[in-house]
Chain A
Amino acid sequence: MSDTVDVLIIGAGASGAAAAWSLAETRMRIVCLEQGDWPRSDRYASTTRDWEARRMGEFAYSPNTRRAAADYPVNDDDSPIKIANYNAVGGATVLFTAHFPRFHPSDFRVRSLDGVADDWPIDYQTLEPFYAENDRMMGVSGLAGDPAYPPKTCVLPPLALGRSGETLARGFNALGWHWWPSDNATASRDYEGRARCINLGNCGGGCAQGAKASTDITYWPAAVRAGVEVRTGCRVSEIRCSDAGRATGAVYFDADGVERFQAAEVVILAANGVGTPRLLLNSVSRAFPDGLANSSGLVGRNLMFHPCAVITGVFDAPQDGQRGPDNWLWSHEFYETDPARGFVRGYILEANRGAGPAQSALAGLSSGQVTLGADHHASLRRVFDHTVGLVAITEDLPEEHNRVTLDPVLTDAHGVPAPKITYRISDNSRRMLDHAVARAGEALRAAGAHTVRDVTPLATGGWHLMGTARMGNDPARSVVNAWGRSHDVKNLFIIDGSVFVTSAGVNPTCTIQALALYVADQIKARLASLFD
């Protein structure tokens, strides 16, 4: 097909879905190209007895382990943190654990408040109505009144506290520290055609119940009903550009491997913080010899991950095991900057369930808590169903040497260069991780844990991909403007985590989606003068 569409969205994940739905009301012709397929919830890991094995194979977080037809390889050898993603309609929300914290107001003003990195060109108040709209579309559970946030309403009641939650709450209370039930995009009650959570656990293997708000079951059905076309199995290789510096459309390989061109008036990139710079860098033209929209040289730079630590405690009393949503309670005690801590910015601690029996055995064998041989059974029973964890998500500050480039050798199945990741954990992040491991250990011990172990940094935790096409007012220091339009290419927009100026110390997806809704809203409001 080569007829020109009004809007071409590349990527059907968290952000692409939100923007498609929002723009659909304009009645423009909107097509989304997605390299993966529609997921089948009846095939998710928790539907079969071998669910623990399938989570390590077809539902592994790393595309290099899954190696499915929809995946592209990522060379992350030069990074202590490995890329986690999922390539399908719904994108990584198919596997995400739906922890849904907003940014704090201070996260948009880190230069002004703490003298580091850069301020965002927008603020919390700009995004507030879009956070709220996104909460409604995704069906977010939570509890109003959290002193860590400006007042906000909640769509659904909070997820159950459970035994594990009570345990953690007692620990935090003993220390006088903040905790609160998390905002989580998992429905605690039936909501908009989605059935309530029945505590399958395994959110990271896809939600067979449909309680978790992956965008294939939230935004996409509404967008498709409103006329948006999603073309699956279509891998974009480059965005073409005219000599006048306008995007003309995208070259892609369709599900049969046939190379095609889709012309478009507006191109919106939503391929995530790694997929988007990869495409821009692979889109070389006379007008943009260093990659599309890259006159600043910042495409691919300032990659941020959120270095994570997982701290687990083992308790004498039985806990909830893997039953229930993975993350359902948070602490923002160490979120806002306190110079006395020896680092700038901060982190959240999010509660983390235990694991199934095989994963408990494997994790216990790695940490030395489970043994092989005669004592295996007793040692496994000490940890299985008796473990609760905390994950520290630390703010990663932007550094230009942390980046996505094109691998000179590795390609995907269609010959498109694979992304190569070069990343180092900063000294500030290391100090923050040390602090978080020590504080989480205190909280777990105060909660009654007799043994505490940590995995720091969590190598498999590259699930938050941000910063590689940053937003800003200065075209020399940013890739897109304050409403997501490329400074260089006036009909090219970016709406995924690439545009983050800083990472905050919370999971990013509700902010990615609020930004996507905000950019879509700006497009709608400026239609008459969009390319000026």
Chain B
Amino acid sequence: MTAFTDRDLDILRRLAGRMIPASAEYGVPGADDEAIFADIVRTLAPAAGTLSPLPARLADAEPDAADPALRPILTAVMLCYYRDDRVLVSLGVEPRPPFPKGFEVEEGDWSLLDPVRARPRLWRDAGRM
């Protein structure tokens, strides 16, 4: 299996960091953070054969989300960034899988249905075959 070269990794890391930079305001690392970047590289490894060598322009240009060539990298960056504990906690999300604890959803105000209950029927009579 083809692996990323050191040059690819350097370009990729700078690209990831520009896609999602660290933020002091939200207290979150960037996507070039060591642990997050390692996850991104692991995720993209099976595609290294088709992605390597990464074009040099990616190292410094502003990443464009609409660029089809960036799609696999963009997807991996988002999937890996948004499963990092620090990032999830800053979003108010408990860092855990949904199962088995699940989540609470409020029952809601069923009196909102009152005007609909008062409506005449909407369905049409179709007769019998």
Contacts and interface: CB of A to CB of B under 8 A. Distances in A.
Interface string B110-124: 101101110111111
B97 A48 contact: yes
B92 to A, nearest CB: 8
B105 A169 contact: no
A365 to B, nearest CB: 4
Nearest to B114: A173
Contacts of A199: 102-105
Contacts of B23: 377
B116 to A, nearest CB: 6
B107 A47 contact: no
A372 B82 contact: no
A357 interface: yes
A530 interface: no
B88 interface: yes
B126 A123 contact: yes
Contact of B126 (A48, A113, A170, A372): A113
B126 A52 contact: no
Contacts of B112: 161, 166, 169-170, 173
A202 B25 CA distance: 31
A35 B64 CA distance: 42
B98 interface: yes
The residue among A52, A119, A377, A381 with the most chain B CB atoms within 10 A of its own CB is A377
B9 to A, nearest CB: 20
A126 B102 CA distance: 40
User: Could you tell me the dominant secondary structure of chain B's interface residues?
Assistant: loop
Interface in B27-70: 28, 43, 62-65
B65 A336 contact: no
A150 to B, nearest CB: 6
Interface of A is mostly: loop
Contacts of B62: 372-373
Contact of A161 (B107, B116, B122): B107
A210 to B, nearest CB: 10
A365 B65 contact: yes
Contacts of A44: 99
A52 B83 contact: yes
A47 B99 contact: yes
Contacts of A180: 113, 116
Given A51-B97, A199-B102, A147 B122 contact: yes
Interface string B16-29: 00111101011010
A372 B102 contact: no
Contacts of B124: 104-106, 113, 336
A324 B103 contact: yes
Contact of A169 (B20, B79, B113): B113
Contacts of B93: 357
Interface in A121-168: 121-126, 143, 145, 147-150, 160-163, 165-166
A103 to B, nearest CB: 10
Interface string A285-323: 000000000000000000000000000000000001001
A44 B98 CA distance: 11
A372 B123 contact: no
B85 to A, nearest CB: 9
Contacts of A122: 129
A374 interface: yes
A356 B108 contact: no
Given A49-B97, A56-B75, A160 B107 contact: yes
Contacts of A361: 78, 81-82
Contacts of A48: 97
A201 interface: yes
Interface of B: 18-21, 23, 25-26, 28, 43, 62-65, 74-75, 78-79, 81-83, 87-88, 91-93, 95-110, 112-113, 115-117, 119-129
Given A53-B43, A166-B108, A178-B122, 20 more contacts: A47-B99, A49-B95, A53-B83, A105-B124, A105-B126, A149-B123, A160-B105, A161-B108, A161-B112, A162-B105, A166-B112, A170-B112, A200-B102, A209-B99, A324-B103, A336-B122, A362-B75, A365-B65, A373-B19, A377-B28
13 contacts: A47-B97, A105-B124, A112-B127, A123-B126, A124-B126, A148-B122, A150-B123, A173-B115, A320-B105, A361-B78, A371-B65, A372-B20, A381-B26
